Structure 1
Amino acid sequence: MTDTPLLSVRDLAVRFRTGAGQVRAVDGVSFDVRRGETLAVLGESGSGKSVTAQAIMGILPRPAGEVVAGSIVYDGRDLLAEDPNRVRKLRGDEIAMVFQDPLSSLNPVFRVGWQIGEMFRRHRGASRRDARAAAVELMERVGIPAARRRVDDFPHQFSGGMRQRIMIAMALALKPRLLIADEPTTALDVTVQAQIMRLLADLRREEGMALVLITHDLGVVADVADRALLMYAGRAVETGDIREVYDHAAHPYTRGLMASIPDLDAPRERLTPVRGAPPNLLDLPSGCSFHPRCPHATDRCSVDDPVLRPIDGRPEEHRSACHYAEEVLAGEREPV
């Protein structure tokens, strides 16, 4: 890895115009993705994870969605200032994305081999025969049994896990340097989830590409990610080395999510969910957006919006957007 990030996002803000007002879907998020590393972007539904990925890919739904501030620099080029035709060429060639629902992302009327091969026909000018051969090779690589026979099957003839593998094969077709996987294990059983995570980790290592894993499930990325970024209400609330964040969570939101993960090795006990619900992005609370749900909140939290900052006594890269991060980490902050 070099010190220069492959992807650098700074102060990204995304708004959606609706009949009820303007939704602040992403509100000043900054992070880096280094070459060859895996960044896990974590948080509940509605926290801004997928919208951040869509902004990076340049596929925000228009005209409602718009990047209103910030920069997205990929390999030294600001994608927001780049010529749209060049950005389109980067998608697929260098930046690829695996979407959340493979059944809706795959075209039901075309055979999967034709859909995978389209990447080679469109971007590389390959013949139909060569594109089909490349599709078979990719299907074999992502672990689809009998790929030479199944290359002519339709999406509905595959299980959910196999369809996700097909989506990964399509994303890998042109050997991207950055792969974004948006909730790649949603609706899959735990065994298949583990298989998909191992597949992504193995492919990332073999190809040397950077990987951004977006998920609400902290458990599925614990063993595959290098760093973690926790998002809440469109903002980054905690970030750092994934083991550091998991072992020394310093934001009440992160701690709440960790407490809701089942531990099969621990004695049977009730899970502790994060109380309440995420805020309405049309009408965010004043101060810290998490304070209405936070067990440690004080009057200061409802007025003073905390910034993402280093935590005393922890590595510089470990940051938390909580006024009381040190006390929460030390267990000195009692619930109120």
Structure 2
Amino acid sequence: MAEMRIGSDAVTRSAAASLLSVRDLQVEFTTAAGVARALDGVSFDVSPGETLAILGESGSGKSVTGQAVMALLPKPAGSIVGGSIVYDGLDLTARPVKDVRKLCATEIAMVFQDPLSSLNPVFQVGYQVAEPFRRRLGMGKREAWGKALELLKRVGIPDAETRIGDYPHQFSGGQRQRIMIAMAIALEPRLLIADEPTTALDVTVQKQIIALLADLQAETGMAMILISHDLGVVAQVAERAAIMYAGRIVETGPIREVYDRPAHPYTRGLLDSIPSAAEIGGRLTPIVGSPPNLLALPSGCSFNPRCPFATDRCRTKVPALRQPASRGSDHAAGCHYSEEVLADA
């Protein structure tokens, strides 16, 4: 083991350390109706060059996880109340927010769900893509503009030499997302967090955006966290999956193992609800019920009111993430009956 010191922080880690290591992360939001535990003991790792998919229904805690890493939790309502976020040996939860955001400006980047709300409507896209080069690297306007043009070509904006002077509203949704990706990779981050990058795009454009991210990753070697509610979109590009429900990771492992033989009833429900081209005209199989109110979570396993395997044990005891007997060491599920779920497949 080797010890790394950064300022007053000392972090012990192995030579094959993760680029990002999140441990027992807990986030709360204070509302007029009470305190909501948005994340409750979330742990995961991302290695250099790896892609982790964080998946689940809306309200499961996926976007909050990305916001916590980037120090973008809305203040004063949202706050980290426990756990750690360690990036390349540095515990971000022990640093001032301004220091974390300064680090994120060059090391960690984020692509948000709605590019139109993230782009400034009164500035040309070239000006906005060039901004990191001017502000962070001190480039002159002409040099920064040239770098912006290179990036727009790199992410596939047609006729980039002409379009660089256009404004956000003059681009399609898919092109705006490409512009956001150009801004995110401008300073060659080591970790990219893409939060629902294909929401509201048609299926063809979704595939193009995911393929673009995969190509950029292969080209730059950056690690990625893909946050999505669409399991099909990320299936071909992620190495591992973390399935979230009610602020907890309920299953995690190599994505092919998780998809082929899910060990948690919630994961199975998500996979069963994906429309299939082989069953045109058939009925979808939704998960019965709705995600719980974070202000009034059910006792025991939060999924128990919707779970076909639930027993009294599930209603009284929260299951820990554990390796099912028939799965590999990297596959874990937070279910009392994961073996039964696998046997019932």
TM-score class, shorter-chain normalisation, is over 0.9
**Alignment match, 1:223:** 236
CA distance in structure 1 between the aligned counterparts of 2:33 and 2:287, rounded to whole angstroms: 28
1:206 equivalent in structure 2: 219
Aligned partner of 2:252 among 230, 239, 244: 239
Q: SS state of the match for residue 25, structure 1?
A: strand
Q: Is the 8 A contact 1:10 1:29 kept in 2?
A: yes
2: distance between equivalents of 1:271 and 1:84? 44
Decide which of 36, 39, 58 is 1:26's aligned counterpart: 39
- Aligned-pair distance for 1:304? 1.1
Q: Where do 5+ consecutive residues of structure 2 fail to align?
A: 1-14
The CA distance in 2 between the partners of 1:150 and 1:307, in whole Å, is: 52
Query: Which amino acid letter does the alignment assign opposite residue 209 of structure 2?
Result: I
Checking the alignment, whether the CA contact within 8 Å between 1:98 and 1:180 is kept in structure 2 is yes
Aligned match for 2:62, one of 46, 49, 52: 49
Deviation per CA, 1:251-289, whole angstroms, max 9, x where unpaired? Answer: 000000000111213464211011100000000000000
Which amino acid in 1 is paired with 2:131?
E
1:120 aligns with 2:133: yes
Aligned equivalent of 1:8: 21
Q: What is the CA deviation profile of residues 45-97 of structure 1, one whole-angstrom value per residue up to 9, with x for unaligned ones?
A: 00000001000000110011000000000000001112444322211211000
Aligned residue for 1:299?
312
Moved more, 259-268 or 42-51: 259-268
CA distance in 1, matches of 2:286, 2:136: 46
Give the match for residue 208 of structure 2.
195
Q: Is the 8 A contact 1:261 1:271 kept in 2?
A: yes
Pairing partner for 2:196 from 151, 160, 183: 183
Equivalent-residue separation in structure 2 for 1:24 and 1:85 (angstroms): 24
Equivalent residue number for residue 151 of structure 1: 164
Amino acid of the structure 2 residue aligned with 1:303 = T
Q: Which TM-score applies when normalising by structure 1?
A: 0.97
Q: CA offset at residue 300 of structure 1?
A: 1.1
CA contact (8 A) 1:92 1:171 kept: no
TM-score when scaled to structure 2? 0.94
Q: Which amino acid aligns with 1:110?
A: F
CA–CA distance in structure 1, aligned partners of residues 60 and 123 of structure 2: 34
The correspondence for 2:289, drawn from 276, 281, 293, is 276
Q: Give yes or no for the alignment of 1:256 onto 2:269.
A: yes
Aligned-residue offset at 1:206: 0.7
Cα distance, 1:128 vs. partner? 0.9
- Tell me what 2:10 maps to: none
2:108 pairs, out of 85, 88, 95, with 95
* Deviation at residue 295 of structure 1 after TM alignment: 1.2
Distance in 1, matches of 2:302 and 2:136, equals 44
* Distance in 1 separating the partners of 2:36 and 2:164: 42
SS at match of 1:162: helix
| Runs of 5+ consecutive residues of structure 1 not aligned to the other structure | none
- What is the deviation of 1:296? 1.3
Measured in 1, the distance between the counterparts of 2:127 and 2:186 equals 13
Distance change >3 Å, CA 165–CA 240, structure 1 → 2: same
